[in-house]
Structures are given as C-alpha cells and as structure tokens.
Structure 1
Amino acid sequence: MREQAAIWLAPAFLAGVLAVQWMPVLPTQGWLLPVLVLSAWLAWSSAQARGVAFLLLGAAWAAWCGVRAMESRLPRELEGRDLSVTGTVSGLPQVRAEATRFVLTVERAAVGDEPVALDGRLRLAWYAAGGKAVPAIVPCARWHLTLRLKRPRGLVNPGGGDGERSALERGIVATGYVRDDASNRSTGVRMFCVDGWRAAIADGIERRVADVRSAALLRAFAIGDTRGLTQRDWELARANGASHLIAISGFHVGVAAVAGVWLARLAYACWPGFGLRVPRRQVQALAALLCAALYSALAGFGLPTVRTLLMIAVVALARCSRRHVSSAQALALALLAMLAADPLAVLSAGFWLSFAGVAFLIYSLSPRAQGWRGALRELTLAQAVMAVALLPLSLWFFGGACLVGALSNLLAVPLVSFLVVPLTLFGTALLLMAPPLAGPVLVAAGWLCAGLWWLFERMAGWPGAQVYVPAARPWALGLALLGAGWMLLPRGTPMRWLGALLFLPLAWPPVQRPQPGAFRLWMLDVGQGLAVVLRTREHALVFDAGARFPSDFDLGEAAVLPSLRALGIARLDLLVVSHADNDHAGGAPAVAQAHPAAARLGGEPERMPIATVPCAAGQSWNWDGVRFRMLGPAARAAAARGNDRSCVLLAEGTGGRVLLTGDIGLPAERGLPAAVGTGPPLVLQVPHHGSRTSSGPDLVRGLAPVLALVSSGWRNRFGHPHPLVAQRYAAFRVPMLNTAEQGAIEVDFPADAPPHMVRAWRRHRFRYWRE
C-alpha cells in the first residue's frame, strides 16, 4: 500500500472500528471470520473499493477483538469462589498501610485440583487483616495465590467514568482480592523484566530527591509512575490544563529519539571510517528508533508513547528505505498500526486526545521562520492550536475544561520540555549506568518541579481556571470539532471567528428544568451506600453522598460531584446526611467543599465528618411548589445511636411524592405511614438497602408505594436486598429497582401525572462491554 493512500484509508479503518463500539451486542465469531477474509481480499484486489473494504475490515477486526476480550472475562460460575492462581506481577504495585494493590498476569488457574480457563490480567488487592502485614509485592515476581474474583463491574452514573469499558481496554478480565491462605507464596522473580527496572528507577529518584512532591513528579516524568501524586496534585494539574505534562507524553519519546541521533553522531565522530561502510542517515534513524523503543518500554508503553513510537518507526523505516514520508502520512500509518495492534484503544480518552492533538497541529501549523524567534513563535502558536483543538474533547470526556490552560501551558511547556524532561531523562540514564552521578542532576530537576508547582498553585486560584458543563449529545461534539477546524483555517480565510458558534451546543447544552410543583430525582450508583440528588425548578439538594475508603477513593468526589455537573446543577442549596455511617457520610466533605454555600442537615451530628444542623421531625420548607417535611428522627430517637437516628425526608409535589429513609430499621418505621399521610402516589427509598431488619409489612402496606428504590452494591457481602424483603415488596405488588442492577436511576415527578422512571443508566445507551 502506498504511503499516500494511508491518509484516507486510516480514517476509513477508524470509522469501522468506532462503529463497533456503539453496538449493544457483538456478532458471533462465525460471522466475523468470513467478513474479515472478504474485506481483506477486497482491500488487496480492488483499488476502487479499498475505502469500503478498509471500513469493513476495521469493523470486523474490532468486533473480533471485542468478542475475544469479552470471552476472556472470568466465567460467571466462578464468581465468588476461591481460585488457586499462579501468575506474574505486572506494572508497579501500589503499597498503602491498609492494602497493596497490583495487577497479576495469569499463567494458570484452578478450582481445587481442577484447571479452569482463565487468561489475562487480574486487578487485585491484598488487605492487611488480623494484625498480619501484607508481604512485599515487587514487580516481575511470580506468586501462587488463593483469590476471590468477580467479573469487572463499575459504577454507572451521569457524568461518571465507565469502569467496565476501562477494564476491557486495559485487558482486565477480573477483579478481586487475596484470601488469607497458607498456600500463598512467592515462587521467585523474573530476572529480565522492564517493570523491575522501572521500580529501581522510581526507588532511586525517591532516595535522591528529598521533597516528596518533586520526587513524585520526577517519577511521573521519567517512567510514568503516578503512584506518589495525590488527589490535590491532580486537581492542580487539571485546573492548569497540564495533566498531559505530568504523565509520559509523546514529547518525552521524542527527546529519547533525539538522544539516539546524538549518540549515533558521536559514534561517527569517534570512528569516522564507520561512515564508509554504513550510511550515516540510516544508522541515525535506527538509533533514534532504538532509544525511543527502550524509553517507551521504561515508560510502560502508555498510549501517547506508543503513538509517538509508531510515528518514529514509520519515519525511520522510510529513511532506511530512502523514501519521503510527510507528517500526515506518518500519523496515518501510526494510526493504522495502532488500530491493527489494538482496536480497543479507541475506548480510551487518551487515544482521541493524542491523535486529535497531533492531527490538528499538522493541519494548522506550517514551517515558518527559523532560529529561536521562529521556535518561540511555533511554540506559542502550538499552544493556541491545542487550546482550541482539544477544548471539544476535554468538554466531552471530562465534562469541563481549563480556561487558563493556554497561558499556563505557554509557561510550563518550555520549562518541562527543554529543562525538566531532558534533565530527568539524563538523570534516569545515569541511575542505570552511573548511579553516583545521578543525584545532582535529579536534585536540579526537582528544584524546577517545585518552581513549576508553585506557579500552578497560584494560577489554579484564578477565576475560570476550571469550568464544567452539563452532558451533551454526540452531535454537539461533532459540531464543536467542526468549529475548531473552521477556526484553525489558514490566515486570511474570512469569518473564521464564526467557528466559535459551533461550540455553543457542547458548551451550553439545554438543561430540562421541572415545572413548578414538579421535581426530578436521581438515585446514584454508589455501591453499598446511598446518594440521592433531587431537583426542583430552581433548587437542588443532595441526600447522602456515598462512602470514602482508606484508599482515598471518595464517592462524593467520584460519583456525586460529576453527576451534579453532568445534570447541569451548578448550585446546591442543601446537603442532607442521613446519619454518620461511612457509606452515607463518607463523601459528604467533598460535596460540602465543592458547594460551601449549601445548608447542611444531618443525623448524628456529633459523629459527622462535617458540621451539620441536626435533623428533627417537624422541619419543613417549600421550593417551587414542592413541599419538604422532615419526619425523622423523632424526639424519642434523639438519644438513640446509629441507624434509627437517620434523617427521614418527604418531598411532596402536586403529582407525586418520595420518601427518603436513610438506614432506619423496624423501630423507626413505626408511625411513618401515619406521618406520611395520604396524597399523590409515593416512591419509597427502601430503608437500610433492603436489610432484613427493615421494610416491615406495616410500612410497605401502610405506605403502598408505587415504586421502591434500593441502593446496594453488586454482590455485596450483606446480601442486600434480603430475599425476604424482596418477596415482601413483590407480595404487595410494588416494583423494586436496584442500583446494583440498573446503575443510577432517574425518576420524574411531573406536576400533572404520577411519578415514573425515566431511565436506568446501566441500560441507557447500552454497550457490549457492560454487564
């Protein structure tokens, strides 16, 4: 295939791959094999039909890989059973006081003495329990472990990430934890293993750079190791539009390739006669490719590094064959190579940010004046291009963008590109070849990182540093990308500024607001916990905010806040925390910090992680024709402790009502039907996740809800909702919806009609990778 043809064949192949990712169900392999063969033959034999053939080839290949990946997942019958697994630790383990988290590549697995088919990568946690410390888990070590596994399953919420898509893209076939078993043992460490070298480099940097944050940044710059970065660090990076600078980027690989060219030139300078035997240009190209490949391996073969490595490989091979390849041709061939190797890479946001960014740079920039002035001008223009080009993708993937990113990157990119990265890579090379010499170089790079972070901390406080937008439709993204291309047309093109108008459907999508007397409710998917968002026409409240775990995973930050942003709720009026248990109150500090003006009510205020005004029966207010009444805790429960002190909130619109009960049990349920009284149809949040000690017959009979909503975790260890409770609601003919099965649940309470479920997020826009 000629290189020029790749410029239009690569988009055709990409379109076929992308079309498959919208399928709810994949075709069987029996259908895919003939399509693969036919499209490959057509692409080879007919130049006229090559575009269509590549589209079909991309679709068939992506579907084939998707089927293989889904079939590799843990068989359902093995979920929750103990498996004996032998495998090798991949990547860099994350060690914390409460647990060590790591990825294990399976070599063989068995249930008892019977082998089972399990092949792929497992994401595991080894918890410190019973006073026993977790053994040291080092990269490249082989272990024989007893594991309890389940298929990948993530939370599904408005504006949230898709854990099952991420697991598919990363080749994770199961998640789980290590069981306490006498048979757990290490069986040695592989001698030649890149991850072992990466761990040694990370340890070397940590020992030589005293400042913890600077050491963490240098490890990220050197080998893509982000384990030492805190949530605050990432927030600062996002607020400055500099997340791409922290992890390994394509520029790092380019620096390594340039180092390879210099090494080749040094070799020719030392042995001039070598040039009479081997052409200089070809050797330089191969040296650049070799250094880039070695560094990409040390960086863990992240997607930006692979993209740049493939582009360098295309140019190097063209140079060796004495053929000219333009930047557009190199990018197209790299795209084809990436999709041929891993079509599931399109599931990653990094894929689109990486290739789209380079494509817009090629599209917009042309060679200009030489010298330092020309380089400075190109750098400035490149930052402007990236700010415009990647704005639509940032809004789409992350629900927000940084408005000061162009300015902060204008200062940070030269510092990182021309000083921090070269010094870091030089120090990394010294760590491997001459460790005593690495210290001063890495310390100097650490000082520069400290200065960079000081700058980021100042700029993060500027107005508009980080803005968020509601979720939009896919066509709005297409219009915004078209607008970016329009704005980046060559100088002299008339009315380029009109391209900015095409950003409006993505930046300001329409947000549906309930009518007076109506409201809308979202029960979010927060696992074994509770988080509910309720919105009237002009007001909004959050009832509970999910859990916060010792691993610093905060559902207030990860689920509640993204959902509020995606739903277009910019201002929160009230935060109600039913009681102080972690699965209800753990995420409250993150929500309170993001919305400091919101009033706060809570049960058990003395145990709360934030300051709250106590809930009490009799509190009431009215928002936009919707009446709110606090029905609990009653005065007799004020001295109690635990679940029965949960806040119980009733919201009453003109067409429907909802009762939010927290974790109350049978004692607190007594008298609730009388307190609720009669009125429009009622939707009930099932008390205490459907535990056996709640949802008594008197409550279900007395309230007669038209819909029961359960918030529980998938395969949770408590068995919620209890089968007897589920049977009780079924006996009273009350439909029950569970976030563990449905994802986030949206219920509409119109002013002139009974309440009804609008959508369940797990089934909304269903994709083949979703359980």
Structure 2
Amino acid sequence: MSSAKDPRKITDLYCHPRASTRGSTIWAIVCRQTTKRIIFHILVFVFGFSWALIYSHWVVTWSLPEELEGKKILITGYIAAPPIDKAHRVSFEFQTSSISGEKKKTRIKLSWYGEHPKINAGDKWQLLVRLKRPHGVLNPGGFDSEKHLLVHHIRATGYVFNTELNRVLASNLRYYPLARLRQYLINRMDQVLTSNELSSVIIAFVTGAEDRITQQQWRVMRDTGTSYLVAISGLHIGLVASLIFIFVQFLWKFSSRLPLHLPAREAGVIAGLVVGFIYAAVSGFSIPTQRALVMLVMFSFVILLRRYTQSWNAWLWSLFLVLIINPLAVLTIGFWLSFVAVAAIIYVSSGRIRQKTSYLRKFWRMQLTVTIALLPLTLLFFQQFSLITIIANMIAMPAVCLVIVPLSLFGVLFLLIPGNFGCWILWCSVKLLHIIWWWLTFLANFANCSWYHPVYNWWILFAASIGAVLLLAPRGLPAKYIGLLWLSPLFFYTPDAPKVNDFWITLLDVGQGLAAVVQTKNHILLYDTGPSFFEQDAGASIVNPYLHTLGIKAIDTMVVSHGDADHSGGARSILNTFPAANVLTSVPEKFTPYIAKRCASGQRWQWDGVNFQMLFPPQNSKLRGNNASCVLKISSGKNAILLPGDIERISEDLLTANYGIDLKSTVLVAPHHGSATSSTAALVKLVAPRYVVFATGYKNRFHFPSKEVVDKYMKINAKLLNTAKTGAIIFKFSNKSDILNVSLYREQERRFWHYNKDYK
C-alpha cells in the first residue's frame, strides 16, 4: 500500500512540527495582507472625506456680509457665461473683481430688468446692484435651488439697477474666450433658425443652452422619457466620439504609410477624444460634460496604453477622477443617473456567455436594462416614470444621437466659414428633428402615459435597488425573479394618512405668496396656489411636485382666495395636472373654461369628521380685491386653523363683528402676509392663536411682515413662524388632543448649504 493511501502517514504529515510552522506562516501573510487592505481602504476613505470637506469649505468660505444684503452696492467684474435673454430681462453669471470697493473674486448670478444694453460674455463691467445670499424656497419634492447654486459655485444672487453708473470697463477677446465663442454660436444659430419653433432644441443639442426650451417642449420630453436627449452628457459625447472613431479608423486604413506610424485604431481613438473635448468645450464644460469627458479620457487611455483592463476598473477610476475634480458632483441628479446607467450596462454585458444576436435586439436589451436600473432613481428624483419611454426612445435616441446631433455639429462648424453651407446643414437637422418631434408629441398625447409615484423613504429605495440588481442578473440564477418581490414596496407601499377626525395642513414655501394643502383621511383641499413669475409658476414647480410626493391623484376642493397673482398664479398649472371636483373663489370669472363657484359665508361641509366653514365674504358682497378674499376656518375638536387670504381692516372689522369669539383658532395664517394694513387689534385678540404663520418671500421688497404686526402677535405670546426662514411648515391636528406635530422642513432637512440662521 502506498503512503498516500495510508491514513496514519497522512496524519503524521499534517501533525509534523514543520507543517504547523508553515501553516502559521501562511496565516500570518494572509492576515498581514488583509490588514494592509483594510488600512488602505480606511486611508482612501479619510482622504476622500477630507478632500470633500476642504473643497466644500473652499466653496462656501465666503458669503455676502449680512450688512450688504438688500443694499445698493457697486461691483466690478466680468460676464462669465453667455447671457440668457428672456422677455423683459436678461440673466447672466458674473465673476466679480471687487465688491463695494474691496477686492473679491467670487461668482454671482444677476438679472437686469427692463431696457438694458447689449451684454457680451467676457466684457468687464461696473454695475450697481442689490444682492442677497443664496436662498430659495424649500419644500418636500421640490427643487433645491440653494444646492444648485452651491454646485455651480454661485455665492450670491441679485439684480442690476438702471443707472448711469453701469458701464463697460473693458472688452478684450482674451477674457473668457470660450464663453464668447459659445455666445457667438448661440446667436448665430438663433439667426439661422429664427423662425423655427424647434431651434431652441437644436441650440441645446450643440451648446447645452436649455433656457430657450419652452415649458410645453419640456412636458413632451418629460412625458416620453426623452429629457436626457437635450442634456449634453456621456451619451452625446460618447456617441459622437464613437462616430469619429469609426470614420477616422476607416479612412486611416486606406493610407499605405499612416498605419506604419500609428495604428488605425489608435488614430481613431485620438480623433474621437479630440472631437469629444471640442464638443465639451462648446457646451461650456458643464458638470455633466466634465463627467462624460473624464469617462471618455479614461476609456481612451486604456486603448492607447494597449493594456487590458476590466470595465469595472475603468468605471471606478472614472468615478474616482470625477469626485477628485469636483466632490460636489454627488449633489447632482445627473451624476447618479449616468454612473448607475453605465454600471448597469457593464453588469449585464461583462462576464456572461455571449450569444449572437441582432443589433436591434441588443438595442432593446440595453434600453430595458437602463430602464429597470434607473426606475428607483427616476421615481426618487422626479416622482414620475414614462410608461412609453422604451417605445419613444426606440426611434428618438438613435435618430438624435447618431444623426441629428452630428449633423448639427457639422453645420455649426461650417457657420464659422463664410457661405451658406452651414445654414443648409442646420436646416436639414431641424427638419429631421420635426419628424422625431411629431413622433414624441403623438406619444405624449396619450392619456396616462406617465406613472406618478414617489419613493416615500430610503428603505424602499434600498429594496427596489436590490430588486433591480436581481432582475438584471444572468439567466439561471435561482433568486433572479425574487427581484420582483424586492420591487413590490415601490409599487404597493402607501404613506401614512390622517385618521378620522384628524387633519394635516402643509403651508408650502412659495416665496411671496400662499399655498396650503389640507389632508383628511380621504380628502384633499388646496387653499391658494402660489405666485406666478415670468415663464414659471409655483403651481408647476412647487405645488404639483408636493402633491405627487403625497401620491395624490385628484383634488376634492380648490379654494383660491382672490385674484392676485401671488395667490392664484399657479392655479392653471395645477388644474391641468390634477382634476378638481370643486373650485371656490372670489373671482370665478378668471377660471374660464373651468367651472368655478363664488365663495361666500355660510358655505360649510364635513370630511372625515373635520369641519370646513367659509366665513367670508358675505353673500352678494360688493367687496373686491384683497378685501373679497375667501376666509376659511378648518376645525376638529378644540383645534382649528384660520386662513384669511389678504383681507385688510375693512374686512377684518366685518369678520370680527359677525363671528366674535367663534374666530378663535390654534393657528392663524397672518392676513396679507403680515402687512401693516391687516391684523387689527380686534382680530388678533379674538383669534388668540398659539401659532402665527407669515407666508413671505426672503428679503421681499414689501418688507413683510411689518414690525408693527409682529409686535402685536408677540404681545399675546404667539409663536411666530415665517416660511421664508422655515421652509414648508406641516401642522398635524387631532380632535382629541393638542397639535400632534409641527414640522419645519428647513430644520428637518437641514444641510450645510442651506440658509439656517434661525427658524423663528
């Protein structure tokens, strides 16, 4: 019998003292390597955290001194980007050289209203301005403008006074040459395509300037899931670079000498990289294009260095470099969408058995992969998902990225050369875009083409992400279709709602205006709709996203207190999105073709044990304007809230005379935003609120709330809240107890870039 088969000898072999020493040595080496890896990862984490902290501190280290806010100050500096021309105003980014006589380099955003001289990028100006610190409205589901300003390094906003002090100090081509080139191309394309409704989209394809795209055009792209096509990113730069790569590689092979000096493949890579860099430059090196360019450079260098590397390594290095260049990139939506999309494509295409399939099938597979991978993030960021996105992109994506964008870039190139050839090419590209736009508009007109459903909390996002990973796993994985179970909370979870006899009210932060959402167990009431401002309104940008966040499908009653734009400006946007069973207002004539009833005292109803009573204006009243505001009282048990609109002394006297102590409420929304023309002593005494809410804009030009009014409420020891300082305010009431909860959104979602001076 051989020793290998003798159990005793095998035992002796492993029990030998040398074998034990050898095993200990191997174990020590493994432990040492593991320890090194752990230490390395800890050091990388510390380095990354420290770099992000240092970078963020460098961005926010300077803030506009509080004593300069709202004051007229003289500044000098340069127009740092192409100006954005809108009706009645022009907006632009300004790189300061001095502020109020002191040297200071920082970037601010300015608007110039009314008549103004021509603004050219790169020119040095002296301007008389009024500035304020970065501050925006803050609401659940809404856009965080303070975060947006931080990411773009903008440290103040303001507007220019029309005065003789404003003048051009210098105009030199060596200052901001790239911004000058972009402005020239935008203006030139605008001239060539001036009468075409889709010229704004072509300009966005080439330069990334999205400011000319109309709200209707955004709606079509949003409903068809094609908004990403106008945001120059990795898709555009990657495909354009790929086309150049294929074209140059093809031509290179026809030469007998060139391949001897440089292989055709590497020549194509270099040409694609150069064109990608030029495209990124024309788009202004925006954050998405920076990210795309880094990824392009990373993958190009792998080919040029003739080294094999796994796709995951290239992806991780790209992620690392993007975060080194700008750690604040993680605060942008595009960062997450682009890296997750690329990761999903690598995940489904690497390390799997390759099967011969048609290009069409591969395209469908990639579309389905990206759609599933981005579903949780899409609902998290936008609260909606296009149900026709795959059908729309089947034609739109290849047509735009492979034909229209390259053709537009080719046309712009020839615009720099005398002649009309570039104009003809741009005309062809916009005609092709019309065909694609017809297809997108046709699909967008289908009812219920978008699914509105928010991600209510982080554990749902986590579960849905695991579900997406499992569903995209290789065939044959036993747990693959368990992914559907992990995705189920995304579809079936419902948020908390008030109980019977309870009601919740959210006073949204809409700036200088008012919008309040009232929830009972089974009903929704909206009181006022926020202001309208130029091309936008609070209905579309604030109220609708908040209602989507709640999972609301329809409004039971909308009350618009009166016709002023700061209270009724968002009404049409809301009614176009959410059907309203009942509309009450003091100005029903403004709501044609919608059916609206006139509000009047005596109207009352009950929902889920909660009482709603219209107190004002009187029946057949001849009052108009602010004094005709609909005054609504909502009560349950001992708790009540009074919503008085913009009534002033005349109406307040009538109200106190008619209702007396019946006006008593736990919460009062200050009449007319705290104006000195409202909040009479009689009203304050009879309502006797514990909480008073001022719905005002930050540093508003009316200086609301009035100090006189604030003093009146302080004398009765009411707690004062201002939406400009707190963001959205949520009160939760019960008929059995005191206020259940008061949530201040700015405090609840506190971030280092938010204005957080105080909440009172």
TM-score, normalised relative to structure 2: 0.90
Q: Counterpart of 2:543 in 1: which secondary structure? A: helix
Q: Offset of 1:315 from its aligned partner?
A: 2.7
Question: Deviation above 6 Å: which 4+ runs of structure 1?
Answer: 367-371
Corresponding residue for residue 102 of structure 2: 115
- TM-aligned CA distance change 1:215 to 1:104, over 3 Å: same
Corresponding residue for residue 9 of structure 2: none
The CA distance in 2 between the partners of 1:233 and 1:278, in whole Å, is 46
The CA distance in 2 between the partners of 1:123 and 1:361, in whole Å, is 38
1:98 equivalent in alignment to 2:88: yes
Corresponding residue for residue 423 of structure 2: 439
Corresponding residue for residue 769 of structure 1: 753
Corresponding residue for residue 506 of structure 2: 522
Deviates more, 1:155-164 or 1:286-295: 286-295
Corresponding residue to 1:659 among 642, 649, 661: 642
The CA distance in 1 between the partners of 2:360 and 2:171, in whole Å, is 48
Q: Counterpart of 2:703 in 1: which secondary structure? A: coil
Corresponding residue to 1:511 among 482, 485, 495: 495
Q: Offset of 1:142 from its aligned partner?
A: 2.3
**Letter paired with 1:669:** E
1:397 equivalent in alignment to 2:386: no
Q: Counterpart of 1:158 in 2: which secondary structure? A: coil
Corresponding residue for residue 137 of structure 2: 155
The CA distance in 2 between the partners of 1:267 and 1:83, in whole Å, is 59
Deviates more, 1:263-272 or 1:574-583: 263-272
Q: Counterpart of 1:49 in 2: which secondary structure? A: helix
Corresponding residue for residue 43 of structure 2: 53
Corresponding residue to 1:580 among 563, 584, 603: 563
Question: Are the counterparts in 1 of residues 647 and 671 from structure 2 also a CA contact under 8 Å?
Answer: yes
Corresponding residue for residue 361 of structure 1: 345
Q: Offset of 1:707 from its aligned partner?
A: 1.4
Corresponding residue to 1:237 among 194, 199, 221: 221
The CA distance in 1 between the partners of 2:76 and 2:663, in whole Å, is 61
**Letter paired with 1:122:** I
The CA distance in 2 between the partners of 1:606 and 1:463, in whole Å, is 28
Q: Offset of 1:471 from its aligned partner?
A: 4.8
**Letter paired with 1:96:** K
1:178 equivalent in alignment to 2:160: yes
Q: Offset of 1:47 from its aligned partner?
A: 4.5
**Residue segments in structure 1 that go unaligned for 5+ positions in a row:** 1-42
Corresponding residue for residue 68 of structure 2: 78
- TM-aligned CA distance change 1:258 to 1:514, over 3 Å: closer
The structure with the largest alpha-carbon Rg is: 2
- C-alpha deviations, 1:283-318, integer Å up to 9, x for none? 443332222111111122233322231122123333
Question: Are the counterparts in 1 of residues 514 and 566 from structure 2 also a CA contact under 8 Å?
Answer: yes
Name the count of aligned residue pairs: 717
Q: Counterpart of 2:366 in 1: which secondary structure? A: helix
**Letter paired with 1:579:** H
Q: Counterpart of 2:81 in 1: which secondary structure? A: strand
Equivalent pairs: percent with the same residue?
Answer: 34
Q: Offset of 1:694 from its aligned partner?
A: 0.9
Question: Are the counterparts in 1 of residues 605 and 612 from structure 2 also a CA contact under 8 Å?
Answer: yes
Q: Offset of 1:223 from its aligned partner?
A: 1.7
- C-alpha deviations, 1:111-136, integer Å up to 9, x for none? 2xx3154x3321111000xxxx2111
Corresponding residue for residue 5 of structure 1: none
Task: Give me the CA root mean square deviation.
Answer: 2.4
Corresponding residue to 2:112 among 120, 126, 146: 126
**Letter paired with 1:153:** H
**Letter paired with 1:186:** V
- TM-aligned CA distance change 1:375 to 1:398, over 3 Å: same
**Letter paired with 1:645:** A
- TM-aligned CA distance change 1:351 to 1:759, over 3 Å: same
Q: Offset of 1:443 from its aligned partner?
A: 1.9
Q: Offset of 1:757 from its aligned partner?
A: 4.2
Q: Counterpart of 2:358 in 1: which secondary structure? A: helix
1:700 equivalent in alignment to 2:684: yes
The CA distance in 2 between the partners of 1:358 and 1:660, in whole Å, is 50
**Letter paired with 2:575:** A
The CA distance in 1 between the partners of 2:664 and 2:559, in whole Å, is 24
Q: Counterpart of 2:481 in 1: which secondary structure? A: helix
Corresponding residue to 2:148 among 166, 189, 197: 166
Corresponding residue for residue 29 of structure 1: none
- TM-aligned CA distance change 1:382 to 1:631, over 3 Å: same
- 1:345-424 aligned within 5 A: 345-366=329-350, 374-424=358-408
- C-alpha deviations, 1:405-438, integer Å up to 9, x for none? 1221122222223222222222222223465212
- TM-aligned CA distance change 1:754 to 1:770, over 3 Å: same
- TM-aligned CA distance change 1:434 to 1:385, over 3 Å: farther
Corresponding residue for residue 583 of structure 2: 600
**Letter paired with 1:355:** F
- 1:246-395 aligned within 5 A: 246-258=230-242, 260-261=244-245, 265=249, 268=252, 272-278=256-262, 280-366=264-350, 374-395=358-379
**Residue segments in structure 2 that go unaligned for 5+ positions in a row:** 1-32, 756-760
Q: Counterpart of 1:662 in 2: which secondary structure? A: coil
Q: Counterpart of 2:633 in 1: which secondary structure? A: strand
Corresponding residue for residue 640 of structure 1: 623
- TM-aligned CA distance change 1:303 to 1:357, over 3 Å: farther
Question: Are the counterparts in 2 of residues 91 and 139 from structure 1 also a CA contact under 8 Å?
Answer: yes
The CA distance in 1 between the partners of 2:532 and 2:664, in whole Å, is 36
Corresponding residue for residue 567 of structure 1: 550
